[in-house]
Amino acid sequence: MASEICLVLHRKSANEPAVKEAVKHVRGKGIDLRVRIPWNKKDKPRAVKEALVDGAKRIIAGGGDGTINAVANALVGRGKKPPRASMGILPLGTANDFAHGCNLPVADLNRCLEIACCSRPRKIDVGRVNSRYFVNVTSGGFGAEITATTPIEMKKKLGGGAYTIMGLIKAFNLEPYEGRLLVPGEEPQEGAMLLMAVGNNRLAGGGFEVAPKARLDDGLLDLAMVRHQPEMQLTRLAAELKTIDSPDNRYLYYRQLAEFTIESKRDVHFNLDGEPTRKNRLKFSVLQKHLGVVF
């Protein structure tokens, strides 16, 4: 039988008692919820497509930010027209940055799944980097390298704190990335960065507000970049983080842009909504109010 609501559930969460209770809770309210459990990461797009073929009008991403990214990419497809189904969120990850940024009651899975099934979707922007899409944050440089090299077991034990701890360990070996920023209609900006974040939403790395001014429906992506300078003063950088768009900032560069490109002389670690990759050229753009998301 077809169902208009389908939960695409991360395989490792399928036997969690709290997840089973949440599914039982919404079904007890008369909601016809189908559940699909992809075998692995590559199987998630197929699960979404099969649910759409079966008539699903709402796909709920049950997992962390990586699962949300996979479901969003499967729904957006080539991005030529808005998806015919909306996306809900059942936050089951380590950090759940996108869910927190949407102010969902992350600690209450029953309520989150009820919201995902019953509330009206809101149209949000979708960020694009090269041929991939993201709804939360793409981070690059030192921060993404930390995320990519943090052991999974440590993430589970320490939660968002794992990113900070690994960061302290790695801090002694920072190497800046030489490159340039290309903005349409502006002269190229040459320089070196330590880390960057491109935010469609505010939070990344376990609850850090990396793009404080980001809004999901403003048609812009927020670029926050820490530029490398000889003999950096950490106290000044800390102060600049509180005045993100001050013209007097020396280290922190913050812009809201609809389109830009970042080029690096060597491959940079990047993290797209929890999915690691490495590139030396990234072209960013935004699909305005393209995807319906329930939160």
Active site residue 263: no
Interaxial angle between packed helices 44-53 and 65-76, expressed in degrees from 0 to 180 and rounded to the nearest 10: 50
Q: Give 34: exposed, middle or buried? Use CB within 10 Å, 0-12, 13-18, 19+.
A: middle
Residue that is written with structure tokens 């996306």 in the block: 87
206: region left, alpha or beta (phi > 0 left; psi from -120 to 50 alpha): left
Q: In this structure, what DSSP letter does residue 41 have?
A: G
Q: Which two tokens stand for residue 295?
A: 């939160």
The token pair at 52 is 């759409």
Contact 225, 252 (CB under 8 A): yes
Give the 3-state secondary structure of residue 113.
helix
Q: Which of 60, 55, 113, 63 is nearest to 84 (CA)?
A: 55
Q: Which of 114, 145, 240, 275 is catalytic?
A: 275
Q: Which helix (H) or strand (E) holds 58?
A: strand 58-63
Q: Which residues touch 49 (CB under 8 Å, ≥6 apart)?
A: 74
Q: Active-site residues: which are they?
A: 275
